[in-house]
Amino acid sequence: MSRRTSELASPTAFRRPSALDSPTSLSRRQSTVDSRRPSIDPSRLVRMDKVSHIGGTDDFNVVFVGAGNIMFGSDEGPWNHSFRFEHKLGPRLKVVALIDPAIDRATAVLQKKCDTFVRSAYEHTRVFKSLEEFVRNMSKKDMPRAVIVGSPPMFRGTIQSGRDIEIQIMKYFPGVAMFIEKPAATGPASELPEAFTVAKAIRESSTLCSVGYMLRYLRAVQMMKQIIHENNLTVMATIARYACAYEAIAKPDWWDKSKSAGPIVEQGTHFCDLSRYFGGEVDMSTVSAHSLEWDENAGQLSKMTVDETAIPPENRIPRVTAATWKYDSGAVGSFTHLVALQGHDYSCELEVYADGYQLKLVNPYVQPVLYIRRPGSDMEETHRFPDDDPFFSEISVLIDNIEDIEEDPDTAQILSSFEDACKTYELTWTIRLAAERNRKTKKDAETATPAPEA
């Protein structure tokens, strides 16, 4: 359902009120630029196998845009939106259309679904090359209640024809909810204003929209938010680190900045987003970054599975990017992304500091562990969250909001709006550009310095 027009005056119009929302009166330790973000009581984030599908008997029509791994899963990771929709909606789920220009691939994944116990959700699904083609051929009974966008980010987040899926959805299906995968886009930095134009259109149309920054929905992350709120803390610093296992990355486009936008924009986006989730808005003018590049001695990799010589030198990705910045609140943030590990497992951590507190999130993608140090003790508490599924939680919250016609204040809130996602996208591009400027400055200085005489 669409949001009420009166909510547009609120900076939190994209979500529900919560018991964990900021109080209306600010204490002496808070300001209007503090680190508050929408949150959910972590006890309400329940494992998928402990939840029954949502009640009701009417069909819940959905359109899937994209027939790839994000939507239907693969051996490479836990992504599989269709699986979460099946569990949340049960027999009510009806996928009325699958949009993908690769018709053969889309048809193949549908056949696999129809060979399983979820056949009823897909047996009448039709495949179309584009959203426009679906609209031309749809009947009234095909009207969706949600459109789920899992197509590559280079085809969304702009106002250009063929790359404006959000605008098209609002044009053809006004008031219908959207779920958009992250990041908001991966076009050139010059297109950033277009992403914010899309965000403005979504906000002004009161369209319910959730963006797939699923780490916000981790129980560990919400426990961190709860601790900050209950103790009236102001975040002092965020320190994030993301070390990927490059040996397992065999997709050539990932190693090409002109196609993937680089590891900070495409991969590091989750940790830039989590940093903002705790630290608040970033003063973009303070962002500074340095990189270790492919042609430097320390940047040589021995286990690459792609032929990097096929990629133009100017498009090859950095091996390390390290960035620092100031938040509007005065707090400090830092992020380091590394293309350094071999094998398959990544190493990722986020530390959040406040007066007397250290909150350290480790291994959020697989088996999250939260280490907490509190005032009065030098010992760390350890909290483990086995089998937590933030992918299910974000889908579950979206559907609960769509179904919540009466706008129950107890309905869990969507944690990432499109506008908020655009701010994360802006931060990742600002980091990349800052690192590239410093690399160019170094190169120019080396060129200008004459070689020593023999």
Report the run of H or E that residue 95 belongs to, with start and end: strand 93-99
Q: Report the pLDDT value the prediction gives residue 11, as an integer from 0 to 100.
A: 34
Q: Which residues have a Cβ under 8 Å from the Cβ of 190 and sit 6 or more positions away? A: none
Rg (the chain; Cα; Å) = 22
Q: Are 198 and 407 in contact (CB under 8 A)?
A: no
Residue type, 259: K
**What is the distance of C-alpha 427 from the center of its chain?**
13
Using the CB atoms, write b or e for 284-302: b if 16+ within 10 Å. eeebbbebbbbeeeebeee
Mapping DSSP to helix (H, G, I), strand (E, B) and coil, where does residue 209 land?
strand
Look at residue 166 in the predicted model and tell me its pLDDT. 98
What string of DSSP letters covers 330-375?
S-EEEEEEEEEE-SS--EEEEEEEETTEEEEEE-TTTS-EEEEE-T
Q: Are 329 and 33 in contact (CB under 8 A)?
A: yes
Phi and psi of 252, rounded to 5°?
-55, -35
Chain Cα centroid distance, residue 202: 17
Give the model's pLDDT for residue 454.
59
Note the pLDDT of residue 444: 84
User: For every one of its 454 residues, what pLDDT tens digit does the chain have, with 9 covering 90 and above?
Assistant: 333 333 333 333 343 333 333 333 333 233 334 445 688 877 777 766 556 566 667 999 999 999 999 999 877 667 899 999 999 999 999 999 999 999 999 999 999 999 999 999 999 999 999 999 999 999 999 999 999 999 989 899 999 999 999 999 999 999 999 999 999 999 899 999 999 999 999 999 999 999 999 999 999 999 999 999 999 999 999 999 999 999 989 999 999 999 999 999 999 999 999 999 999 999 999 999 999 999 999 999 999 999 999 999 999 999 999 999 999 999 999 999 999 999 999 999 999 999 999 999 999 998 999 999 999 999 999 999 998 999 999 999 999 999 986 677 778 899 999 999 999 999 999 999 999 999 998 888 888 877 666 5
The DSSP letter of residue 316 is B
Note the pLDDT of residue 74.
Answer: 78
